Amino acid sequence: MLKLALKMTWARKGRLVLTSMAIILGTGFLSGTFVFRDTINQTFDRLFADVFRDVDAYVRSTTFIELDFGGEQRAGIPISALDTVRQVEGVVSAAGDIQQFARVIGKDGTPLGSDGGGPPTFGGIATFETAGLWQIDEGRLPVGATEMMLDRATADNGEFVVGDTVRVVAAKGARQFTLVGIASYGDISSPGGSTFALFDQPTASEFLLEPGFVDAFLIAGDGSVSDEVLADRIDAALADDLKLETLTGAEITAEVQGQIKDVLNIFSTFLIVFSYIALGIGSFVIYNVFSITAAQRQRENALLRAIGANRRQVSRAMLVEGTLMGVVGSLLGFAVGIALSQLLNALLKATGFEVPTTGLAIKPGSLVNTLIAGVSVTVLAAWLPARRAGRVPPLAALRDTALDSAGNLKRRVSIGLVLVALGAVAMVAASNDAPIQVLGLGVLGVFAGVLVLGPAIARPVALALGTPVAALRGVSGTMARQNAARNPKRTSRTAAPVLLGVALVTAFTALAVSIRSEIRDTFGDAFSGDFALTVDSQGSGGIPLSLTDQIAGLDGVAQATGVGFTSVRIVDPNDTTLDPSASMRGNFVQTINPDTIDGLFDIGVVEGTLSSLGRDGILVEQDRATERGWKIGTRLQVIRIDGAVIDAEVRGLVSGDTSFANYVASREMFADAPTPIFDSFVYIKAAEGAVLDDVEARIAAISSDAGIGTLQSKEGFIDAQAAQINQILGLIYGLLGLSIIIAIVGIVITLLLSVFERRREIGLLRAVGMTRAQVRTTVRWESVITSLLGAVTGVVLGIVMGVVVVAALADDGGLTFRLPVTGTITIVVISFILGVVAAIYPAWRATKVNVVEAISTT
C-alpha cells in the first residue's frame, strides 16, 4: 500500500507542486527569519571577537542600572585609576574607553544618522595604545580640545576629508573640531550604521561625560600570564572603594556579543512570530488544497475501497502523501528562506540599518525547526481530509461528480454559533476587568467560530456579492457568481486567509485610530504653548539642558520648558517582598523643570503639587502608586546611574495620560550627576504680541546651530505624537502584506484546481460559443467574489472585535471607538485588486482548455 501511495502521489505531480507551493511559502518566511537571525548573530560574534582581539582585561564600575530593553547603564570610572592599572605586572598597554552620545553635523547642517529610532550615534576615545579598539585608517590621532577622528563610513557618508572642520553635538553642547584622521573598527568601517566621533581622552571625558571620567579601561597584557591571572592582579591592585570590577577579554567579548544579541533578538523574535502567524494562515491554504484534491479523487478512492482497500489504508495513503509533501515542501521552503533572508538584508540596508554580514549562517537547528513546523502543519492539514477520504463509500465510485459534500449544515451552524458566543462572552468579560489573556481567548473563540460558520455563510454572501457582477457582466458574471457559490466549503476555505488578515488589520486599525484621536485630545488639552522642539531619542542623548535655557532666554519667548528621560532605580526600603534580583532593574523617570512648566504643559497632577518637587521629591503614576501601596509622603530611595542614593519623598500623583513615564522628578535631582541628562521635548510659548513667524525663525536658528531637534508648531507636535501609533500600524500592515501574499497563492491554487475540475464544463462552453475573453471574465469575477467574501466578513468581524477591544482597554472610559473609514475602504479595494491579480494565471489556463479533449472525456 505504501508503494501504491507513493506511486499515486507521483502520478499527480501537478497537484504536488500546487500543494507544495503553499508549504514552501509558509516555511520560507520562517526559515528566512531563522537564517537572517543567525547570520546577523554570527556577524556580530565575529565582529566583537575581532574588536576585542587585543583586549585581555576590562575594568568597569560595579554600579549600573538595567534598562527596560535589555541594556544597562553603568557609572563612569575615574581616569586616575589608569596609572594603578599600568603598574600591574604583565600589563603592557591600558587605555580609557568612552561610548556616549555624540552627533556629527553634516556639511549641509543636518545631523548624520537618524534622529532617534535608527542606529545610535556615539562619541569615543581614539588612542595609540594597543588596547584601544580603533585602528587608524588615514591621517593621525587627535590631540587636544580641537581635534577629532571619524569612523570610515561616517566620513564617507558625510563626504568629510582630513582637514575639514566638523561640528559635533554632545552633552556639553555643540562644538567645532578639525578632522585629523579616519579610523576603522575591526574589519568593517562602522558597525550597524552607527556613527562615531573620536577624541583624545581628556577631550572625550570633558565633552561627552565628565572631566576625569571614562566608561571603562581596556588593558592588553604582555602574554606572560593568562588573562584570568592578569584580571585577578588588576582587581587586587584597584582600591575597593572605587567599586570597580575586572573582566577578562573573553568575558567582555561574550557579554557584548550577548547584549547585541538580546537587542537583535527582540527584532528577530518579532519576525519569527510573524512567520509563525504566516505559516498558520498558510495552513488554511494547505488544508484547502488537500480537501479539494481529496474530493476530486473521491472516485479513485471509492474504487480502491470497492476492490478491497480498507478505510485505514485509504486514509494512510493520503497521509503518506501529506507527509511527503510536507518534507519536500519544507526543504524547498528552507531554500527559499535563504533567498528571503538576503532580501530582508537588502531591505534593511535600503532603510538605513546597514547590517554587516560576513557570509550566510545556515544552522542545522534552523533546518530542523523548519522541517518540524512545515511537516507538522502539513500533516495536520492533511489529517481531516484523509479521514474523510477513508470514509468514502465504495458506491461513490459509480457516481459521476465528485465535489465536497455540503456536510451537516445544522451541526456546523450550531457549533459555530456556540464558539462565537463563548468567544463573545470571554471578550465582554475582558472588557469588564478580566485579565487580558481572556480577551485573547475570546478573540480565538470568535475566529474559530467564524471559520466553522464559513461554509454556511459563504453561499448567501457570495450570491449577494455576485448579484451586481451578474447584472454587469452578463452570462460570464452569472457563471462567476454561481461558481463562487456552488462549493461553499471550498470558497470559504479559500477566503479564510483573506478573512483572517483583514479582520486582524481592521481591528488593529480601529484600535489605532481610536488611540490616535485619544492622544490628540489629551495633548491638545495639556499643551498650551506655540511650539515644541523634539528629539526622538529617549534615554540616550537629546537636547542639552543649556539649549533649553538658551531658548527660554530668546527675545519673543515668554516661557520654555524641557522634558527629558533618564533611568534610575527606585527602591522602597519598607517593601521586603521584592525579589532582590529585580532590584537592579531600572525605571524610566521623566525629568521636568517645575519652575517653568506651569501653564505650558500639564503633566496631569491629580494629587499634590509640582512646586513642592525640589531635589528630593518624586511624582508617581497613580496606578503604580496604588499597586505598590505608596501615597504622598512615602519615602523612597532613588538610585542614580552614578550610584548616588537620593532619599526621596512621594510629593504627588500623576494620571499617566500626558507623562511618558511612571515617575516624574525635577531636573535638579540630576544636576550633580556625572552622567548628564538631556531634554527630549522643549515646549515653548511665544510672548504676548510677538510675531510667531519671527519667534519660530529664532528658535529654528538656535536648534539648527546646535544641529539637534525638530521644531514643530503646536498642531504639528500633536500630529507627531498621534502619529507615533503609526509605527505600530506599519508593523500590522506588514502582517497584512504577508497574509496578502498567502491569500493570493491560496486563491491561485484553488482556482487552478477548480479550472482543472471544470475543464469539461469550460470545453462545453467554448464549444457552444463562449469566447476566450468571456472565459477569462468568468474566472476573474469568481476570484474577485471569493476575495471580497473574505474581505467583507473580515471587515465586519474586525470592526466588532475593534469595538470590544477598545471597550476592554478603555477602563476609565477615556477611549472611545472610532471607525477607520479610509482604512476599511482601502482594505476592500486591495481585496478587489487581489482577486483580479490572483485570477490572471488560472484564467489564462482556463482559456487553454482543449475543447475536443474536454468534451470527449467521459
Partner 1 sequence: MTSLPPPTTTNSNTHAAHARGATKIYGTGDSEVHALEHVDVAFERGRFTAIMGPSGSGKSTLMHCIAGLDSLTSGSVYIGDTDLSQLNDKSLTQLRRDKVGFIFQAFNLIPTLTAYENIVLPLTLGKKKGDETWINRVIDTINLRDRLTHRPSELSGGQQQRVAIARALASQPDIIFADEPTGNLDSKTGTEVLTFMRRAVSDLGQTIVMVTHDATAASYADRIVFLADGKVAGEMFQPTAQKVLDYLKHLGE
Interacting residue ranges for partner 1, rule: CB under 8 A: 401, 474-475, 478-479, 482-483, 486, 760-761, 764-772, 774, 851-852, 855-856, 858
Alpha carbon distances (Å) from 626 to 591, 602, 616, 632, 654: 22, 22, 21, 11, 12
> Least distance in Å: CB of 402 to partner 1?
13
Nearer to partner 1, 336 or 854 (CB): 854
In angstroms, what is the minimal distance from the CB of 825 to partner 1?
31
Amino acid letter, 42: Q
Cα→Cα distances 840→483, 751, 764, Å: 17, 10, 22
Beta carbons within 8 Å of 470's beta carbon, 6+ residues apart: 477, 478, 480, 481
Complex with partner 1: residue 404 or 602, whichever CB lies closer: 404
Measured from the CB of residue 496, what is the shortest distance to partner 1 in angstroms?
A: 23
Coil, strand or helix at 843: helix
DSSP state of 204: H
Cβ distance to partner 1 smaller for residue 133 or 789: 789
Q: How far is the CB of 469 from partner 1 (least distance, A)?
A: 14
Cα gap 130→152, rounded to integer Å: 19
Minimum separation from the CB atom of position 816 to partner 1 (A): 47
Q: For residue 641, which of 670, 620, 665 has the smallest C-alpha distance?
A: 670
Nearer to partner 1, 421 or 767 (CB): 767
Nearer to partner 1, 767 or 829 (CB): 767
Closest CB 473 distance from partner 1, rounded Å: 11
**Distance between CA 82 and CA 95 in Å, rounded?**
7
Contact 699, 711 (CB under 8 A): yes
Q: How far is the CB of 406 from partner 1 (least distance, A)?
A: 13
Least distance CB 843 / partner 1 (angstroms): 16
Q: Nearer Cβ to partner 1, position 153 or 470?
A: 470
Least distance CB 482 / partner 1 (angstroms): 4
Q: Contact, 463 vs 785, CB < 8 A?
A: no
Q: Of 483 and 622, which has the nearer Cβ to partner 1?
A: 483
Q: Is 657 helix (H, G, I), strand (E, B) or coil?
A: coil
Sorted by sequence, the CB contacts under 8 Å of residue 411 that are 6+ apart come out as none
Q: Find the shortest distance in angstroms from Cβ 782 to partner 1.
A: 11
* Separation CA 849–CA 78 (nearest Å): 83
Contacts with 643 (C-beta within 8 Å, 6 or more apart), sequence order: 61, 63, 75, 243
Nearer to partner 1, 362 or 854 (CB): 854
Judge contact between 791 and 827, C-beta under 8 A: yes
| Residue 623, number of CB atoms within 10 A of its CB | 13
Q: Answer whether 795's CB lies under 8 Å from 823's CB.
A: no
Instruction: Tell me whether residue 345 or residue 492 sits nearer to partner 1 (CB atom).
Output: 492
- The smaller minimum CB distance to partner 1, of residues 621 and 757, is found at 757
Give a three-class secondary structure readout of 265-325: HHHHHHHHHHHHHHHHHHHHHHHHHHHHHHHHCHHHHHHHHHCCCCHHHHHHHHHHHHHHH
Residue 841 contacts residue 749 (beta carbons within 8 Å):
no
- Least Å distance between CB 486 and partner 1? 6
For the CB of residue 487, give the shortest distance to partner 1 in the complex, in Å: 10
CA atoms within 13 A of residue 346's CA, in its CB half-sphere = 6
Cell for 678?
538631556
How many whole angstroms separate alpha carbon 320 and alpha carbon 167? 68
Q: How far is CA 223 from the centre of its chain?
A: 45
How far does Cα 285 stand from its chain's mean position? 26
Single-letter code of the amino acid located at 690: A
Name the minimum Å distance from CB 772 to partner 1. Answer: 7
CA distance 548 to 267: 34
Tell me the closest approach of the beta carbon of residue 760 to partner 1, in angstroms. Answer: 6
DSSP-derived secondary structure letter, 148: E
Nearer to partner 1, 245 or 761 (CB): 761
Helix (H, G, I), strand (E, B) or coil at 172: coil
Alpha-carbon distance 501 to 723, whole Å?
23
Nearer Cβ to partner 1, position 772 or 818? 772
Q: Which is nearer to partner 1, 56 or 757 (CB)?
A: 757
Nearer to partner 1, 413 or 855 (CB): 855
Decide if 186 contacts 153 (C-beta within 8 A): no
Cell of 441: 481567548
DSSP bridge partners of 686? 557
Q: Output the smallest distance, CB 763 to partner 1, in A.
A: 9
Contact 711, 533 (CB under 8 A): yes
Which CB sits closer to partner 1, 184 or 482? Answer: 482
CA atoms of 736 and 503, how far apart (whole Å): 10
CA distance 339 to 333: 10
Question: CB of residue 762 vs partner 1: minimum separation in angstroms?
Answer: 10
Q: How far is the CB of 767 from partner 1 (least distance, A)?
A: 5
Cα 196 to Cα 150, 373, 384: the distances in Å are: 6, 42, 59
Kindly state the greatest CA–CA separation across the chain: 100
Q: Which is nearer to partner 1, 265 or 774 (CB)?
A: 774
Whose Cβ is closer to partner 1: residue 490's or residue 766's?
766
Output the 3-class SS for 335-383: HHHHHHHHHHHHHHHHCCCCCCCCCCCCCHHHHHHHHHHHHHHHHHHHH
SS3 231: helix
Cβ at position 304, least distance to partner 1 in Å: 25
CA distance 157 to 169: 18
Cβ-based nearer residue to partner 1, 655 or 750: 750
